Amino acid sequence: MKIDLHLHTSEHSGCASSGEREQIEAAISYGLDALTITDHDVLCDISHIALLNKEYAPFKIFPGIEVRTRKLNEDFVVLGIQDDELQARFWDYEDLHAFVREKNGYIIYCHPYRFKNTVPDAVFTHIPDAVEIHSTNIGACDYERILSLAQTLNIKTVANSDSHHKSTAGIYHNILENDVSTEAELVAELKKGTFTSGADDLRIRRYNAEIGERERYIKRLIEEGKDAAYYSEKTNQWHGFYDRVAMGKSYLL
């Protein structure tokens, strides 16, 4: 069973440019069996998810959330918990970790090293269930260090799209050994660790051509002394694209 555990929809993530139906239909067309909607700091409406599941069966849609932690400024996908507190609070990572443990959920460390070269100490004292090693928000240049982080923490790596547009839905995914149909089964399967990573190589090549072009342009701007604000204004694109290039990193997959 192929599942993308980290994906955004324009209904609830201002930064996303495809709606939930576009994302679901794209994932189906790319051969996925399931996805998890993880919008920024907002829980899914469970009855709405149930309707989507009816409509798109046998494809499965699971609810999730991506939580931005204060101070650390790192993002974590939380699965298997539908508690209003998740979206009502400003979370410190340690508290979020304890909450997820108490509620028997699953917590994934998203795109480590995105805008820095270190991992916060709290991640070593409060170990997440898994760390994301592939997504459209992780460049191949960080692969080795994420792998070694996962080994140090002795946790699984997961591969997700972190898609904000239908063109990347499911571009990376996880291949579960056993099919799951409920959120509880999904979490149990993830905790067992019986899955491997999958990638859509053809789409990755196409995506990289686009990123290469974007980053060449950003490098030119940097040479000309133009800043991230200039880049955003000029292109209407997220400053994070510029920031990574400015620190010598890349979004090439």
15 binds Zn ion (CB under 5 A): yes
Based on CB atoms, which residue is closest to Zn ion, 50 or 139? Answer: 139
Q: How far is the CB of 220 from Zn ion (least distance, A)?
A: 26
Alpha helices in the chain (DSSP H): 20-29, 46-56, 85-88, 93-102, 121-125, 143-153, 183-192, 201-223, 228-235, 239-246
At its nearest, how many Å lie between Zn ion and the CB of residue 6? 6
Neighbours of 243 (CB within 10 A): 15
Q: Is 162 in the site for Zn ion (CB under 5 A)?
A: yes
> Of the listed pieces 15-23, 179-187, 198-206, 244-252, which binds Zn ion according to CB under 5 A?
15-23
Question: From the CB of 171, what's the least distance to Zn ion, in Å?
Answer: 13
Is 155:123 a contact under the CB 8 Å cutoff?
A: no
| Smaller CB separation from Zn ion, 220 or 238 | 238
What's the min distance (Å) between Cβ of 162 and Zn ion? 4
Closest CA to 183 of 67, 60, 31: 60
Nearer to Zn ion, 42 or 188 (CB): 42
Report whether 9 contacts 156 (CB < 8 A). no
- Please report whether residue 142 would count as binding Zn ion according to CB under 5 A: no
129 binds Zn ion (CB under 5 A): no
φ, ψ at 61 (rounded to 5°): -120, 120
* Min CB(201)–Zn ion separation in Å: 22
Both tokens assigned to 175: 């291949």
Structure tokens at 163: 């898609």
Please, which residue, 222 or 237, has the CB nearer to Zn ion?
237
Among the candidate windows 84-92, 118-126, 160-168, 221-229, which touches Zn ion by CB under 5 A? Answer: 160-168
Residue 183's closest CA among 84, 57, 62, 44? 62
Interacting residues toward Zn ion by CB under 5 A: 15, 66, 162
